[in-house]
Structure 1
Amino acid sequence: MTNTTSGLAEGAPPIREISLGDVRASLRQGWNDFRAQPGFGLFFGGIYMLGGWLILGFLTRIGAPWMIIPLAIGFPLLGPFVAVGLYEVSRRLQQGEPVTRKGVLAQVFHQRERQLGWMAFVVMFIFWIWVYQVRLLLALFLGFKSFSSWDRFVEIVLSTPEGWGFLIVGTIVGAFLASVLFSTTVIALPMLAEREVDFVTAMITSIAVVLKNPVPMFAFGFVVGLSTLLALLPVFVGLLLVLPVMGHATWHLYRKVTAPA
């Protein structure tokens, strides 16, 4: 890692240059933190898994199974907020402080009084755009197709030119939205959990980090995205492992790419 100066807003930390080796180290440290405190990881991962089950049950109940895939893919956009508790666990492990349920949960609830709540509006807005664009593309590409079941939807998407167009355009738009959200939150969320800064400063810092370290940061984003998608396949159960490991890893990457508070 190389220290660099930063021309960011007051309160923003200096940004460091990192390498792919730092990304690998962060992932390894994330795994080690999960092994050191698996109870916290399973607890926060379980909350996320339960949310996925609720979405699945709701869509099945209202007879809209074709929305399962886009919502399941977009659902991880909300994951970083569940990871706030994981950031605190990693911080305590890194600082040699005792890791207690009372201390970690108190830090999570304390975020209600800080700027992290404003980030929720940003993330929810992007998530809303994601859902809206999926419905828009469904109407544009598949509006004249009839699908009342999951099997019929998959058949139309995979066997018709309209379905291929839906997949291609949806993937491009989804990748753009995911890149925007990743760039604005990957460093902002752990930064807001640790420092007394406003959410705009945190977002600007996060974007600056990605611009200064595009290859390692997007490599990290690719690993997080791919791991999360694979974790969704066994009916969200894989999130019990993937979410905590990636949450811990995000904390360590944040600490590598910014100067200490």
Structure 2
Amino acid sequence: MLSDRTGPPPPDNPHAAGIIPEVVPPLPRPNDRARDLPWRTAFDWLAQGWSDLWNNPLPSLIYGAGLCLISVLLIWSLFAFELDYALFPALAGFLVIGPLIANGLYEKSRHLEQGQRSGLFAMIFVRPASGYSALFMGVLLLGLFMLWMRAAVLIWALFFGIAPFPGSDEIVATLFTTPTGWALLLVGGSVGALFAAFSFAISVIAVPMLLEERTDALSALGISMATVWANLPVMLAWGTIVLAFFVISVTSALIGLIVIFPLLGHATWHLYRDLRPDSRQKGRSERMFIPPA
């Protein structure tokens, strides 16, 4: 709105002498997603997961054994249908969809918090509080897994051209004893690490959040990324632990999954509990992109 004043500006006007007022930066706002946890907290989550694993251990061990059996059958299918070229990308892609598969383990840890025992049936047939949004999150993670598989094939073609796969008996020597193989490992490992890091960031909080809270998948995804970024030191430590246990599982011919996967799944539930404020749990709705109804 324009002023009708024609005389000199009042003396208390900072523009009276032609001086531009000082620009004051806004006061810092506290990040309500930052929990200021030391990186060593990751080992506390691991210890809590170990405790949950051995509290009524049979359902958790059967859960892990079932995953191990399914993984072995899938690998056998790759060789049976001459798709062994997808073996290494498929193993790496396990890190992408792992949080989704662990839903039953989150359910058991949640029941233990409430002083209840959770049987195998309840762990397999989980009913998330977010309903179909949890299913949509699963579709997103599976889509990300398929995208990684396609990217891996393109990276292979980039270095070795459109040529028949040399076979699983020659691939190790090809990758580790030739300059082209080294370059493929460097580029493929870097791209795979980006996929794994992105999947970790969007799902490590989002999947248990959709189980416990009423929200939508995209909001859970965004909240998970924001929470990971606000607690980067402890989340980097946790990601390193997950990667180390994954390597142990692969080198043990996947037998280690029987114990390792339940351990990590139960521990991830305690990660979620520590990183999400109590006021935003217990079924309350928080949405980052869509206002609550």
Judged with a 3 Å threshold, the aligned counterparts in structure 2 of structure 1 residues 178 and 69 are, in CA distance, closer, same or farther, namely: same
* Alignment match, 2:258: 240
Matched residue, 1:84: 103
Q: Secondary structure at the match of 1:16?
A: coil
Q: What residue identity is the alignment partner of 1:166?
A: L
Shift of 1:24: 1.4
Measured in 2, the distance between the counterparts of 1:164 and 1:102 equals: 46
State whether structure 2 residue 143 is matched by structure 1 residue 143: no
1:175 maps onto 2:200 in alignment: no
**Which of 65, 68, 75 is 1:49 aligned to?**
68
Query: Which structure would you say has the larger Rg?
Result: 2
Give CA deviations for 1:164-195 in whole Å, capped at 9, x if unaligned: 11100001001111110000000001111111
- Counterpart of 1:216 in structure 2: which amino acid? V
Alignment match, 1:216: 234
CA deviation vs aligned residue, 1:192-226 (integer Å, no higher than 9, x gap): 11111111111111111111111110210111122
Q: CA deviation at 1:152?
A: 1.2
The answer for unaligned runs of 5 or more in structure 2 is 1-29, 282-293
Secondary structure of the residue that 2:136 maps to in structure 1? helix
Q: Which amino acid is the alignment partner of residue 38 of structure 1? A: P
Identical-pair percentage = 32
2:87 to 41, 65, 68: 68
Deviation at 1:250, TM superposition (A): 0.4
Q: Distance in 2 between matches of 1:57 and 1:99?
A: 32
Q: Which amino acid aligns with 2:170?
A: R
Q: Normalising by the residue count of structure 2, what TM-score does the alignment of the two structures yield?
A: 0.79
Q: Which residue matches 2:115?
A: 96
Residue type at the aligned position of 1:207? M
Report deviation, 1:32: 0.8
Determine helix, strand or coil for the equivalent of 1:218: helix
- 1:224 and 1:64, CA in 2 relative to 1: closer, same or farther beyond 3 A? same
Please give the secondary structure, in 2, of the residue aligned with 1:115. Answer: helix
Q: What SS does the aligned partner of 1:237 have?
A: coil
Give, in whole Å, the separation in 1 of the partners of 2:210 and 2:34: 16
Q: Say how many residue pairs are matched.
A: 250
Residues 128, 212 of structure 2: 8 Å contact kept: no
- Counterpart contact for 1:44–1:82, Cα < 8 Å: no
Cα deviation for residue 95 of structure 1 reads 2.4
- Worse-matched range after superposition: 142-151 or 177-186: 142-151
TM-score by length of structure 1 reads 0.88
State the shift of 1:136 in Å.
0.5
- Residue 226 of structure 1 corresponds to which residue in structure 2? 244
Q: Distance between the aligned counterparts of 2:165 and 2:150, measured in 1?
A: 19
Q: Is the 8 A contact 1:34 1:245 kept in 2?
A: yes
Higher helix share: 1
User: Does structure 1 conserve the Cα–Cα contact (< 8 Å) formed by 2:111 and 2:118?
Assistant: yes
Structure 1 unaligned blocks of 5 or more: 7-13
Distance 2:230 2:241 in 1: 19
RMSD between aligned alpha carbons? 2.0
Q: Pick from 40, 58, 61: which aligns with 1:21?
A: 40
Q: Residue 117 of structure 1 is aligned with which of 135, 143, 155?
A: 135
Residue in structure 2 matched with residue 184 of structure 1 by the alignment: 202
Q: 1:160 aligns with which of 170, 178, 194?
A: 178
